[in-house]
């Protein structure tokens, strides 16, 4: 449905849907490094539907800012659905937002393994009032491509869970 839309168009649609639903969003980002927040705030008036973002690049940031359990990082790795889910829930709990998206992945070109190759991205969407979703993806392309695809999908998923 939104496959032809650009990141900026998706951010516009997201803003309209959040406004209609009277919901506020937050993000928790690792491999996208704040790119989802940057896209959301590119839309004028976004202070009405965007509260804050936790760019938790290091493991310490994930633990300290949004309550990810160190034991979960140790057991499943920072790039895992378990960590992404905790990040999304933690983003809502530590903000004034109702919904959040969390992204943890390996944008490359380094950091890939056989189990988790470059392009592996785990995304979790959490809506405190209704349904949530967590999934893993394998994106193709260079570092910039992987990040852009993750940002696009993060926005699409937020639109879906409103």
- Applying CB under 8 A, the residues found at the interface with a copy of itself are 27, 29, 31-38, 40-42, 44-47, 50-58, 60-61, 65, 95-96, 107-110, 143-144, 147
**Cα separation, 119 vs 152, whole angstroms:** 14
CB nearer to a copy of itself: pick between 47 and 71: 47
- Residue 25 burial class via C-beta count within 10 angstroms: exposed 0-12, middle 13-18, buried 19 and up: buried
Q: How far is the CB of 103 from a copy of itself (least distance, A)?
A: 12
What three-state secondary structure class fits 135? strand
CB nearer to a copy of itself: pick between 3 and 140: 140
CB nearer to a copy of itself: pick between 11 and 159: 11
Q: How far is the CB of 42 from a copy of itself (least distance, A)?
A: 7
**Cα separation, 30 vs 20, whole angstroms:** 29
Category of 27 on φ-ψ map: left (φ > 0), alpha (ψ -120 to 50) or beta:
beta
Q: How far is the CB of 4 from a copy of itself (least distance, A)?
A: 21
Q: How far is the CB of 1 from a copy of itself (least distance, A)?
A: 26
């Amino acid at each position: 449905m939104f496959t032809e839309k650009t990141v900026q168009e998706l951010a516009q649609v997201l803003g309209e849907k959040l406004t209609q639903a009277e919901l506020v969003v937050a993000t928790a980002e690792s491999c996208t490094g704040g790119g989802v927040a940057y896209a959301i705030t590119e839309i004028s008036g976004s202070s009405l539907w965007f509260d804050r973002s936790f760019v938790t690049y290091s493991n310490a940031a994930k633990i300290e800012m949004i309550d990810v359990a160190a034991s979960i990082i140790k057991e499943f790795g920072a790039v895992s659905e378990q960590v992404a889910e905790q990040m999304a829930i933690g983003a809502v709990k530590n903000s004034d937002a109702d919904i959040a998206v969390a992204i943890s992945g390996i944008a490359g070109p380094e950091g890939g393994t056989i189990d988790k190759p470059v392009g592996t991205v785990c995304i979790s969407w959490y809506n405190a009032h209704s349904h949530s979703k967590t999934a893993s993806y394998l994106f193709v392309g260079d570092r910039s491509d992987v990040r852009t695809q993750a940002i696009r999908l993060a926005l699409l998923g937020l639109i879906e869970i409103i």
